[in-house]
Amino acid sequence: MAERTIDTILENIRTRIADNNSGDISAADIRENMVDIADSILYNVSIADWSTDYQFLNDISLVVNTDPEQDNAERGGTLTVQSGIFFDTVDAKALGLTGSELFQTVPYPGPGEISHTNLKDLDVGNPHPQYLAVSGDSMVGHLGMGGYTVSGVEVDANWISSQGPFQANNTLGIYFENKQADIEHVHLGSGTILEFDVDHSIMKSAVGLAHAYIRFDATQGINEGEDITVLSSYNIHQIKRIDQGKFEIYFKSNAVFDHGDYVVVAHSNGTGDDGSIEDMDLVNAASVQRSGEVFSLVVQNDAGQYVDAKLNDIVVYGIPSGVTPPDLATVYVAP
Amino acid sequence: MAIYSLDELLRQLNTRLSDASSDFWTEDTIFYAQLDLAESILPIVQSGNFTGTYSFKNDVLAKKTVSVEKGLQFPTGKQTVPYPGTMSHSDFIGLENNDHPQYVTISGASMSGNLGIAGYIYSGGGDAEGKGITFRNISENEERFVIGEKTTLVFDNDKSSINSITGTVNGFISFDATTDPLTVNSSLNIEKIEHVSKGKFVLYFTNDLSGNYIAITNTNGTADLDISFAKAACSFRKPDSCGFVVQNQFNQYINSKTNDIIILSIS
């Protein structure tokens, strides 16, 4: 026998088992038609249009079973598709999928098997608002840049600069250094200058800032027993009146020098700051003795007498310990 | 009635409906053969091997569910687990790759746009509060670059450092009072200088200072290497102005050639 299409089988039945030739119907007519039907079942199932003409109206289950004719080898259980699977489901349409989007043509490998890199549109939009967009963003929290030690392990400091990771050497920009639990340093790289856009003033070093200053009135104290009133001070721990017109001024512990070669500029006036413009009582102020912790201030009038002046302004400039000293001015002797 | 496999069904039909036995056929012979054929169709389909010769040549539509016990075989591979419709991002592999060029990588990157920051940029050691730098918006046109209270700004250039700008000069001026009008050579935070009379001047600040500010003055009667003794003082001091007076050694007010004053203030 042979595999035949349904149309052929039907034609053969109508021809060989026709009503008007019942007397001529042989056993073969019956048998061969039935054998053809049986023999063509799989063939006709395979070529049928199961998407439009016929559709599976019930669930289909492909089960794993054994084939007794193949030594009970395992078979079945797999659905093989060469073009894909079309998900004509409510859920798929609810996702807004249409047309080819409803087709699955590659296998889903399961969780833990899909590469993030292979996802499409990775550079489109802002799918991760929890990250900083390189095109500009706002952080709502802190940003750690490294430069600290935790459990004995040093975490390298990283730089913030205009060139970021593309800078050739680590001198441009800023980085951070955690010195102690509550002490942090922000470093400006040695090739970096602080600039104020308001007037484009720049700052390459902090050495030019006043190291300390004090303003005091030596004619009276605020409290009984005091003979000096400190009106303003910075990095000054204490001022001690040694005698009339003679004072010792002590730096705060974190502002002491490891040398006495710093600059003290002083100005004194015999009258106060609440008078008129004519109030001027010439006195001379000078700082002679200077050490890391303390410097002196003496004030004399024109007659060379030590006097307690009403207005005394002193500002100190110098190179603190640990700071790379700038080159000292060279000395040129005129010929 | 019986359900047969395809081979068995064919054998039964060929035997029971053979030419040799046709003389012994009854109605039941054909009747039961047809019933067996009908009943065996679905079992034959069920056990058919539809992967080779009999693979489906057309599309198949299942009005209900297709169940598979071993999986779905695509030309590119086999699927053995259902696609859940949604996936946890954490389940993807290769998450450590830089797949999103629109984001800044933790290993270092360059921003192509502006960066706003509400917290501190700091080393990362311990609690961030007060460490490092941050920005504070005061108004639409005023922003402050803030160095945390636990932070010192260090210039690697010479290791000098500051944790306050209190030591910064808040105002200065250098002027020549021998010209008419006087000549201002340089100034900072001085909006106006008033020449009241010989040797008497009032400096008006651009931005007010606190009353107890420091003022260091210097004056000289000449502009060359010679010295013409004179003494300058910052006499009265107000938030918006201060006096600058110059006398010679005879306590006479004079207009001096070089006049300098620097002012430092906590404010």
- The confidence score (pLDDT) of residue A224 equals 64
Residues of A in contact with B203 (CB under 8 A): none
* Cβ-Cβ contacts under 8 Å for A222 (sequence gap 6 or more): A229
- The confidence score (pLDDT) of residue A22 equals 67
Cα distance between residue A275 and residue A269, in whole Å: 12
Q: What's the whole-number mean pLDDT along residues B182-208?
A: 92
Q: Are A60 and A50 in contact (CB under 8 A)?
A: no
Q: What's the whole-number mean pLDDT along residues B70-85?
A: 86
Closest CA to A1 of A29, A44, A39: A39
Q: Are B235 and B196 in contact (CB under 8 A)?
A: no
Residues of B in contact with A279 (CB under 8 A): 235-236, 243
Chain position carrying tokens 């954490």: B90
Cα distance between residue A125 and residue A115, in whole Å: 20
CB contact (8 A) between residue A132 and residue B73? no
Q: How many CA atoms lie within 13 A of B3 on its CB side?
A: 9
Q: For testing the chain B interface, which of A46, A233, A268, A297 should be mutated: the one with the most B CBs within 10 Å?
A: A46
Question: Helix or strand or coil: residue A229?
Answer: strand
Chain position carrying tokens 């593309």: A166
CB contact (8 A) between residue A114 and residue B118? no
What is the torsion angle, in degrees rounded to the nearest 10, for the CA atoms of residue B40, residue B46, residue B50 and residue B56? 80
CB contact (8 A) between residue A76 and residue B69? yes
A63-122 pLDDT, tens digit per residue, is 899 988 889 998 889 888 888 888 888 888 888 888 888 888 889 988 888 999 988 899
Q: Which residue of A has its CA nearest to B134?
A: A142
Q: How far apart are the first and last CA of chain B?
A: 110
What is the pTM for the complete model shown?
0.75
- The confidence score (pLDDT) of residue A1 equals 61
Are β-strands B241-248 and B200-205 bridged in parallel, bridged antiparallel, or unpaired? Answer: antiparallel
- The confidence score (pLDDT) of residue B224 equals 56
Residues of A in contact with B123 (CB under 8 A): 144-148, 155, 157, 176-178, 184
Q: Which residue of B has its CA nearest to A267?
A: B216
Q: What's the whole-number mean pLDDT along residues B202-219?
A: 89
Nearest to A107 among B77, B93, B162 (CB): B77
Q: Which residue of A has its CA nearest to B157?
A: A190
Predicted complex: ipTM over 0.95: no
Closest Cα in chain B, distance from residue A182 (Å): 6
Q: Which residue of B has its CA nearest to A146?
A: B123
Q: What's the whole-number mean pLDDT along residues B25-44?
A: 88
Closest Cα in chain B, distance from residue A205 (Å): 6
Q: Is B144 exposed, middle or buried (0-12, 13-18, 19+ CB in 10 A)?
A: exposed
Flag residues of chain A having pLDDT under 70. Answer: 1, 22, 222-225, 272-273, 278-280, 334
Query: Would the pLDDT of B193 be above 80?
Result: yes
Residues of B in contact with A55 (CB under 8 A): 61-63
- The confidence score (pLDDT) of residue B26 equals 86
Query: Would the pLDDT of B210 be above 90?
Result: no
Are β-strands A311-317 and A263-269 bridged in parallel, bridged antiparallel, or unpaired? Answer: antiparallel
Query: Would the pLDDT of B231 be above 90?
Result: no
Q: Is B93 exposed, middle or buried (0-12, 13-18, 19+ CB in 10 A)?
A: middle
DSSP A151-198: TTEEEPP--B-SSGGG-SSTTSSEEEEEEETTEEEEEEPTT--EEETT
Question: Helix or strand or coil: residue A82?
Answer: coil
CB contact (8 A) between residue A215 and residue B214? yes
| pLDDT band with cut points at 50, 70 and 90 for residue B225 | low
| pLDDT band with cut points at 50, 70 and 90 for residue B53 | confident
CB contact (8 A) between residue A126 and residue B111? no
Q: Are B164 and B245 in contact (CB under 8 A)?
A: no
Cα distance between residue A102 and residue A90, in whole Å: 11
B91-122 pLDDT, tens digit per residue, is 899 988 899 989 998 888 888 888 898 899 99
Closest Cα in chain B, distance from residue A247 (Å): 18
Q: What's the whole-number mean pLDDT along residues B184-199?
A: 91
How many other CB atoms are there within 10 angstroms of residue B90's CB atom? 8
Closest Cα in chain A, distance from residue B23 (Å): 9
Residues of A in contact with B151 (CB under 8 A): 184-186
Nearest to B54 among A42, A77, A313 (CB): A42
CB contact (8 A) between residue B151 and residue A185? yes
